[in-house]
Structure 1
Amino acid sequence: MSDPISRLDQFRADAPGAPMSSAAEVRRRGDQIRRRTRAVVTAGTAAVAAIVAGPIIFLSSGLGDQGIDPAPAPNADSIAASTGQSAYASPSDLTRANLPTEDDLVADDPYPAWVQEQTYDGEGSDTYNECLRDSLADSGAATTFRRDFVAKPGEEMADAAGTLKAVVAEFDSADEAEKVSIDLSDAAISCSGVDGAELAGTLPVEGDVISNGSIDVVTYPSDDPDMNAAWEVATAVVSAEDRVLVMTRKRGVQDYVQPTTLQTSAVNAAHRMVGTTPPSDPSTDPSTDPSATGAPTEQQLGDANLVAAGELPALDRFESALGWNRYTPTPDVPTLACQKEWLSTLGAAAKVTADYRWDTDSAMVGQVHVAVLEFPNVNEAGAAYNEVMEWMEVCPANKLGVDPTVTSLPRDVSADLDAGPKRAARSQATYPGQGGNDSIWFETELVAEYDTRLVLVGYGELAGPCPPSTGDKEDPCYQPDQPDSWPGRILAIEKAAVTAGISDLR
């Protein structure tokens, strides 16, 4: 069984998305695809010049960035080698401007933003996806371009973020592009080219320019004995009109980490591929303009919605030189031990999180995890509240690295918080500590709802086999010399977290 201390050598992966579907469901979607027409003519030569601006790199294979100086007209062999296009095919209007940019990509917390590393005319000289054995050119693509991304170098967690690579291709017809995309999805699901690959999940990708799309994630063991993780390869394949997008995210993960979704990034990249502006771009999305719809201004979450370490009451059972210390965990630690799924499955429009720990000289003995989630409307917030309540009631088995047991079912505590939430519920659970001894994590879990927002608080103290304190003199765990301050700490932490979480709504 895992505990929060041993989980500190893992990786985080909580990006926007939806629950993964089965591989069979994704295949069935191949029979239900819809065609849609392009909304905007593909960007022209001026856009190409804007995208190309930057360092010019040449590869010995001739597949790297091309120079911008005028050059002699290429012959048939050079066209085929550099672009994967037949010299006798009709001209293609696919350009580098149809590749995604860093602004189109979602960087999941706590990883830094993606930045461009290199752009290729063609598919590049190296393998960009271990699961796809045939090149797009071999599949009939007339023109291809590729762009590689890395997490911003020098930033915290950049080395653990992995890589992201995008390839766009144009085919002779929409039917051909659709067929190729389905074949690529099947190849990604089976990943026959990698020994030991196992399907971790699939996810459909849909949008108003997309004809067919899916994300297929596989994991396989690393041959590096020092790597405390497996490799994960997430492949997003999208067809739109006569074009196909392939995005590949590779990183190291533990088996309980939620698979990469890539969903929002793939939708944005699909729009870019057909020459339209991605829907997440606020400059063209009328839903972000209150005057266009009459809707209220969308609330923006930030650090002001997160309780500060200095506002948390001291864990007086243990001395600590630091007190409560906010930290960025290297694993994706669940906010609540009883979470069935990662919080991204709740469908929030925005989310901020914070993690705090109380350390002695030898171990972490206290932890507070807070998440504030903003939803598009009160109905979706209410549905998410009910879902979290169900997690807290049944505490289902999960793959998030925790094996908890419910010790106290949720009860209404909205009147105790003095923060005005519409409703709030608290439960308690336990899960084993480290070392195989009697140590136990005693966790209190809270969900509070206010208008379109939820605040989740998971507060755990290490004790065992008895709880941190009890005021019942008849309880076998009662200790006269032990202050009964645990209930007060619980309430103070919950009040502080909820007050900060909804501070801008009151």
Structure 2
Amino acid sequence: MNDPISRLDQFRADAPGAPMSSAADARGRGDQIRRRRRAVVTAGTAALAAVVAGPIIFLSTGLGDKGIDPAPAPSDSAAAPSASASAPASDFSRANLPTEDDLVADDPYPAWVQEQTYDGEGTDTYNDCLTESLGDSGALTTYRRDFVAEPGEEMADAAGTLNAVIAEFGSADEAEKVRTDLSDAATSCPGVDGAEVAGSLPVEGDVISGGDIDVVTYQPDDPDMNAVWETATAVVSAEDRVLVMTRKRGVQDYVSPTTLQTSAVNAAYRMVGAAPPGEPSTDPTETGSPAAEGLSAVNLIDGSTLPALDRFESSLGWNQYTPTPDVPTLACQKEWLSTLGPTAKIASDYRWDTDSAMVGQVHVAVLEFADENAAGAAYNEVMEWMEVCPANKLGVDPDVTALPMDVSSELDAGPKRAARSQATYPGEDGNDSMWFETELVAEYETRLVLVGYAELAGPCPPSTGDKNDPCYQPDQPDSWPSRILAIEKAAITAGISDLR
């Protein structure tokens, strides 16, 4: 138990002169545009972390090709041509591309600025991994914008490049199919020999239908470059539109792409004409501020209130952190929480470190749903995860040691129902160390609170304080069950505080 332990190594116009569309087609197109306008009015906020766990070193010059499309300088007022004279005109234009204000730069690199904007996908390659363009995939209209780190600023040459391509398709189903295909291509990276998967993250938000970021690394052609190329590809669908955002840079160590995650969320909102999270809506029909409604930081547990893990001395105590790579809230989690269909989600993670290892972890997520039926269905799904604990793409396959049990009466924090289970998975030090995790799901009105709390021990579990327990350890002065209960109560109290 002397080495650091990580829970996971994780993660798709009519042609000119075509026959006139039928009335049903035209009506469907109109319904599509109306749905988008409603999304602009009703889109809420989605909080996502944008913390990067350290500097990245780039040790080569000439990163990527500049756009050579002869399109005019960036202008958000240029409108796209109508896909068909017989269908309602699309509102899809350059204005749906992200701007500098939507992008988050990795510390310590300077802010991103626009370099070139295209009508279309440009004439040079914008993603090394993708061998098929959005046009090849059936896009009706595409736009592209390239960004570079602000020239002349310190470390600008090391930041790499960033670009965004957006496309409109004939239907939401078609867009989602293209997104899935492109995401698979971003992971397998058929365009580069020897590319290896480095990590992944989900991309979630109210207007987003589906999205993820896949990161691959590969060796440079330049033998003098003492780093590897890293291409991070965010592929996001929202309604009938698809966003492909690509960041390429030279790196020596992998850092979870949380800044790209936040940038992709903002870009997805912009793509459908909605204000990104945290930006005031300019729609005249909007009443109230979306940023002031729903989940917020007050719904997350404060690390200073967590009970101390006394048997492991730590000068830091419980320290909030951004997992790298990203980790699920529950070890038995089958899919990313976005698959449960929440309208909003916030999460936080804490760790207890000794001088040589991480020995305690707390993961909390609070999910808001459209109504109580949706929340109840999600609760049942999480219960199934906790019981079956399937091996899954999130990179963990624990053993369930205690099936979900009703613990509502123990919590005394007001949930409609709550269940707890326990699971174990091995540490990575090659010895007998085990992570002992307690998992909780609690339901209250339209909200779920999930808690994953794990301690490193083994082969016996952490001490219960019972001297008759064959695994009793007299050198452990604290009580594992009491700690579990205190963490769960605090998380639920915060998670539903604004509903009581």
TM-score normalised by L of structure 1: 0.63
Aligned to 1:421: 415
1:496/1:381 CA distance change after superposition, 3 Å: same
TM-superposed deviation, 1:396? 0.7
Matches within 5 A, 1:381-420: 381-420=375-414
1:186/1:421 CA distance change after superposition, 3 Å: closer
1:214/1:198 CA distance change after superposition, 3 Å: farther
What CA distance in whole angstroms lies between the structure 2 residues aligned with 1:181 and 1:481?
56
Aligned to 1:308: 302
Aligned to 2:144: 146
Of residues 344-353 and 489-498 in structure 1, the stretch that sits farther from structure 2 once superposed is 344-353
Aligned to 1:319: 313
Q: Is the 8 A contact 1:442 1:461 kept in 2?
A: yes
TM-superposed deviation, 1:290? 8.4
Match of residue 334, structure 2, among 327, 337, 340: 340
Residue aligned with 1:36, SS? helix
Residue aligned with 2:316, SS? coil
Match of residue 223, structure 1, among 219, 224, 248: 219
TM-superposed deviation, 1:147? 1.2
Matched, 1:36 2:29: yes
What CA distance in whole angstroms lies between the structure 2 residues aligned with 1:312 and 1:216?
32
Q: Is the 8 A contact 1:104 1:265 kept in 2?
A: no
Aligned residue type for 1:307? I
Matched, 1:100 2:97: yes
What CA distance in whole angstroms lies between the structure 2 residues aligned with 1:152 and 1:468?
51
1:257/1:445 CA distance change after superposition, 3 Å: farther
Aligned to 2:126: 128
Matches within 5 A, 1:2-13: 5-6=5-6
1:198/1:265 CA distance change after superposition, 3 Å: farther
Aligned to 2:73: 66
1:410/1:147 CA distance change after superposition, 3 Å: same
Q: Is the 8 A contact 1:395 1:405 kept in 2?
A: yes
Aligned to 1:504: 498
Aligned residue type for 1:247? V
Aligned residue type for 1:5? I
Task: Encode CA deviations 1:263-296: one digit per residue, 9 max, x unaligned.
Answer: 9778645545xxxx6799854496x7589xxxx9
1:393/1:186 CA distance change after superposition, 3 Å: closer
What CA distance in whole angstroms lies between the structure 2 residues aligned with 1:397 and 1:414?
28
Q: Report percent identity of matched pairs.
A: 54
Aligned residue type for 1:66? A
1:149/1:423 CA distance change after superposition, 3 Å: farther
Q: Is the 8 A contact 1:215 1:261 kept in 2?
A: no
Matches within 5 A, 1:38-53: 39=33
1:61/1:491 CA distance change after superposition, 3 Å: closer
Aligned to 1:20: none
Aligned to 1:486: 480
Aligned residue type for 2:128? E
What CA distance in whole angstroms lies between the structure 1 residues aligned with 2:401 and 2:443?
23
RMSD of aligned residue pairs (Cα, Å): 5.7
1:126/1:238 CA distance change after superposition, 3 Å: farther
What CA distance in whole angstroms lies between the structure 2 residues aligned with 1:117 and 1:341?
36
TM-superposed deviation, 1:372? 1.0
TM-superposed deviation, 1:60? 9.4
Matches within 5 A, 1:432-447: 432-447=426-441
Matched, 1:461 2:458: no
Aligned residue type for 2:218? S
Q: Is the 8 A contact 2:98 2:271 kept in 1?
A: no
1:468/1:4 CA distance change after superposition, 3 Å: same
Size of the alignment, in residue pairs?
415
What CA distance in whole angstroms lies between the structure 2 residues aligned with 1:477 and 1:179?
57
Residue aligned with 2:404, SS? strand
1:418/1:432 CA distance change after superposition, 3 Å: same
Match of residue 114, structure 2, among 112, 117, 122: 117
Matches within 5 A, 1:215-254: 222-223=218-219, 231=231, 233-235=233-235, 247-250=244-247
Q: Is the 8 A contact 1:307 1:496 kept in 2?
A: yes
Q: Is the 8 A contact 2:4 2:357 kept in 1?
A: no
What CA distance in whole angstroms lies between the structure 2 residues aligned with 1:485 and 1:306?
24
What CA distance in whole angstroms lies between the structure 2 residues aligned with 1:142 and 1:480?
70
Task: Encode CA deviations 1:402-422: one digit per residue, 9 max, x unaligned.
Answer: 221111111111111121111
Residue aligned with 2:29, SS? coil
What CA distance in whole angstroms lies between the structure 2 residues aligned with 1:183 and 1:442?
40
Residue aligned with 1:146, SS? strand
What CA distance in whole angstroms lies between the structure 1 residues aligned with 2:159 and 2:307?
33
Gaps of 5+ in 2: 12-24, 35-65, 81-88
Residue aligned with 1:456, SS? strand
Aligned residue type for 1:338? C
What CA distance in whole angstroms lies between the structure 1 residues aligned with 2:229 and 2:375?
35
What CA distance in whole angstroms lies between the structure 1 residues aligned with 2:464 and 2:412?
24
TM-score normalised by L of structure 2: 0.64
Aligned residue type for 2:73? Q
What CA distance in whole angstroms lies between the structure 1 residues aligned with 2:150 and 2:422?
40
1:297/1:476 CA distance change after superposition, 3 Å: same
Task: Encode CA deviations 1:333-352: one digit per residue, 9 max, x unaligned.
Answer: 21111111111211111111
Aligned residue type for 2:29? R
What CA distance in whole angstroms lies between the structure 1 residues aligned with 2:138 and 2:418?
57
Aligned residue type for 1:166? V
Aligned to 1:77: none
Aligned residue type for 2:398? P
What CA distance in whole angstroms lies between the structure 2 residues aligned with 1:279 and 1:165?
16
Gaps of 5+ in 1: 14-32, 41-58, 69-82, 84-91
What CA distance in whole angstroms lies between the structure 2 residues aligned with 1:216 and 1:490?
32
What CA distance in whole angstroms lies between the structure 2 residues aligned with 1:391 and 1:117?
44
TM-superposed deviation, 1:317? 0.9
1:363/1:264 CA distance change after superposition, 3 Å: closer
Residue aligned with 2:218, SS? coil
Residue aligned with 2:126, SS? coil
